[in-house]
Amino acid sequence: MKRIVILLLVLCMLLVLYTVVLKHGNLTNDYTIVLDDKEQQIVAIFDSGGIEPSFETIDNEQFKHFNLRIGRSLFAGLNSAALDSVPAEDPVLLTIETWEPHFYHRNTHQSLVELFKGDFDALIIQLCEEVLSKRHNMFLRWNPEMEVPAGLYPWQNRPYDYIRAYRHLDSIVGIYAPETKMVWAPAGYPGAAEFWPGTEYVDMASITLNSSSEAMMTTYPKEGSSLMELKRKLHRLRFFDVPVMILSNQEFPQGSSELIRERKSLSSIYEIQGIPTERKILRTGKVMIGLYDPAKVLVDNPALNVEHLFVDFERISDGRFREAYSGVVDRGHDVIVTMEPMYPTADELDRSVLQKIVDGKYDSLFHMLFQILNTSEQKIYLRFAHEMEIPILRYPWQSQDPVLYIQAFRHFMELASQNIPAVIKVWGPAGDRGSLEWWPGDKYVDMISIAVYGLPDKNITDPLKQESFETIYNRKIRRMRFVNKPIFITEFGVKGPEEYQNLWLEGAANVIREHPEIMGVNYFNMVDNPEVWGEGMKPPDWSITQESFELFISVLDR
C-alpha cells in the first residue's frame, strides 16, 4: 500500500510539472501565441555589398519584430491581433520557433527531423496562408542561435539536420508565400558558417548582440564592447553576400562609422568570394606519408616522403633549425616547416607578436629562415602560426583578432614567395569551430592543414573513449567547405595500447584513401608536451611502433 501511495505522489508531481511547462510555454503542441518581441529588436541592417559597406539604423516602431512558438499541431485561428495592427506598408520580422511536442524532448533535436520529414507541413502552410501571404513585406526568421552549443533550444548544434530542415521550410514558403523573405538567423557565434543553408535559400541574415544562448557559454572570451562584438560577428559572416539584420536588447553600438572605415581599408580581406560547390584539386597519385619524429625512430622507413620540423625565433638564431633541416635533406625527404613566431623560453610570451610581424620587425629573422630553406631542392610546405582559432593562450598568436592574424599571415607568405619561388603555402588551423574567421585568402594559401588527434577532450584518460579518425575528419573537413584547397593532415595521432592504435590507424588509412582531397598525412610520433596538458595531467603518448606504422602504410597502399 505504501508503494502505491508513493507511486501516486510521483505521478501527481509529474502531472504538475507538465502543467507548469505547458503554462509557461516552454514545450507544447498548442503554444501558438504571437508576441511583439521587446527583448530582440532590429536596431540596424548591415550591407557589405554595393559601392561600399554601410549600416542603416532602424526605428523598431516602423520595423516590428514578432515571435511565434509552435509545436506540431495546427493552431485553430492564429491570434494575430498585434500583427494586424501594424500598417500594411511596414515591414515585419516574424521569428518562428519549432519545438518538441513534450518537455522531456527538450534537447533531442527531434523537431528538426520532424520538420524535414514533413510533420510540420500543414502548420507551415496554414501560417503562410493566414499570415505570410497577406503582407507584402514579411521577413521570416526561423530557429535562431542554432550554432551556439548551449542546449537552450532543441535545434542547437546540429548543422546537418538544421540545414535540411531550413531548406524544407524554404521550399514550402516559396510555394505558399513566395514574396516572404527568408532570414538565416545565427547569433554570430564561432562556427555559424557551418549552418549556412546555401545562397539560393537565404535573402537576409541576422545576428544577435547579447544573445541568451551566448550568455551561457564560457568557451570563448567575451568581447570588450558591443562594438567589438558586432565587428567579430560580422567578420564571421564575411563569406555570405547578403544584408545582415542586427538584433539587440540595447541601442545600436556607438562607433559604427569607425567600423565601416576599417572594413573599407581592409577590402581585400572582405572581398566576397564565390562559394565552391565541389573541390577541384584532387589527388591523382599516392598519398604523401610524413612524420614528426624527433627521436628518429621511424624516419628510415622507405615509404616516407616528408618530415615535419617546427621552428621558432630561437631555433633560427642559434642554428638548431639549420642542423635539423640538413638532416631531413640528407635523408632525401621533403619538409613541412611550421613557423612558430615566438621565443619559447622567454619569461612571458609576446602577445604583440602579430602586430610586430605586420610592422616588419621580424623580417630579418624570416630572411634567415628562407636562406636556410633555399640550400636544397626539397619541396617546402611552409606553415605559419598554426591552430590560431583555438581560444587558449598556449601560443601568443591564439585568442587574437583574426584580422590582425590574416595581415601577419599575408606578410609572412609574401616574403616567403619572394624568397622561395616554389614554396607551398600552408594555412594550418586545428580544424576547430570557427576556423574560417582566420582564412587569409585564396592567393595566400596553396594547401590547408588540419590536426586529427583521437582525444576529443584532454580530460579524457581512457584511450577507448577516443573518437575515430573518420568522425573527427568529417567534422573538420565540413568546416572547410567554403574554401577550395587540397588538404594536408600535418598532425595526427592516437594513444593507447598497440592493439587499439592499430585498429584506429587502419580505420584512418581507409578514410584517407577514400578522400582524394587529402594530399598527404603526417603522423605525430612522440609524447605530447607536458606543459600544455597542465599540472598533474599525464600528456598523451602518440608514439607508435615500427609494426604499427607499417600496418598503416600497407592499408593506405591497398
Distance CA 245, CA 186 (A): 11
Residue 180 neighbours by CB distance under 10 Å:
23
- Is 387 noted as a catalytic residue in this protein? yes
Helices 256-265/226-236 angle, 10° precision = 40
Look at 74-83, 443-452, 458-467, 524-533 and tell me which has the smallest mean pLDDT: 74-83
Highest mean pLDDT among 65-79, 232-246, 264-278: 232-246
| Mean pLDDT calculated for residue range 379-389 | 99
The pLDDT of residue 47? 94
Residue keyed to cell 540596424: 44
Catalytic residue among 100, 307, 387, 467: 387
234 to 231, 245, 332, 395: CA distances (angstroms): 5, 10, 47, 25
* Average pLDDT score over the chain: 90
| Mean pLDDT calculated for residue range 286-298 | 97
The pLDDT of residue 13? 56
Closest CA to 96 of 113, 78, 76: 78
Q: State the DSSP code for 255.
A: T
Catalytic residue among 145, 147, 307, 491: 491
The pLDDT of residue 9? 60
Residue keyed to cell 570557427: 434
Look at 19-33, 253-267, 316-330, 522-536 and tell me which has the smallest mean pLDDT: 19-33
Look at 31-35, 191-195, 215-219, 343-347 and tell me which has the smallest mean pLDDT: 31-35
Instruction: Find out whether 179 and 149 touch, Cβ atoms under 8 Å.
Output: no
Look at 126-135, 192-201, 284-293, 394-403 and tell me which has the smallest mean pLDDT: 126-135
Task: pLDDT band for 10, please (50, 70, 90 cuts).
Answer: low
Look at 156-170, 369-383, 413-427, 450-464 and tell me which has the smallest mean pLDDT: 450-464
The pLDDT of residue 69? 84
pLDDT in tens, 179-195: 999 999 999 999 999 99
Look at 168-177, 276-285, 311-320 and tell me which has the smallest mean pLDDT: 276-285
The pLDDT of residue 464? 85
What residue ranges in 90-209 does DSSP mark as E strands? 92-98, 138-142, 181-184, 204-208
Q: How many residues does the structure list for the chain?
A: 558
Taking the whole predicted model, whether its pTM rises above 0.85 is answered as: yes
What sign results for the dihedral spanned by CA atoms 445, 446, 451, 452?
positive
pLDDT in tens, 41-91: 999 999 987 668 899 999 888 899 999 888 765 454 566 777 888 999 999
The pLDDT of residue 314? 98
Grid coordinates standing for 534?
597542465
Domain positions in the chain? 28-270, 288-556
The pLDDT of residue 108? 59
| Mean pLDDT calculated for residue range 316-329 | 98
Question: What fold, for 28-270?
Answer: TIM Barrel (3.20.20)
pLDDT in tens, 455-505: 877 667 788 889 999 999 999 999 999 999 999 999 999 999 999 999 999
Reply yes or no on whether the pLDDT at 398 is more than 50: yes
- Is 491 noted as a catalytic residue in this protein? yes
More confident position, 77 or 286 = 286
Instruction: Find out whether 528 and 453 touch, Cβ atoms under 8 Å.
Output: no
Reply yes or no on whether the pLDDT at 311 is more than 90: yes
The pLDDT of residue 11? 60
The pLDDT of residue 461? 74
The pLDDT of residue 105? 47
Look at 103-112, 233-242, 246-255 and tell me which has the smallest mean pLDDT: 103-112
Reply yes or no on whether the pLDDT at 30 is more than 60: no
Reply yes or no on whether the pLDDT at 16 is more than 80: no
436 to 62, 148, 238, 285, 403: CA distances (angstroms): 36, 16, 10, 28, 11
User: Do the domains at 28-270 and 288-556 have one common CATH topology?
Assistant: yes
% residues pLDDT > 90 (the chain): 72
The pLDDT of residue 19? 45
The pLDDT of residue 404? 98
The pLDDT of residue 274? 65
The pLDDT of residue 490? 98
The pLDDT of residue 7? 62
Architecture of 288-556 per CATH? Alpha-Beta Barrel (3.20)
The pLDDT of residue 5? 54
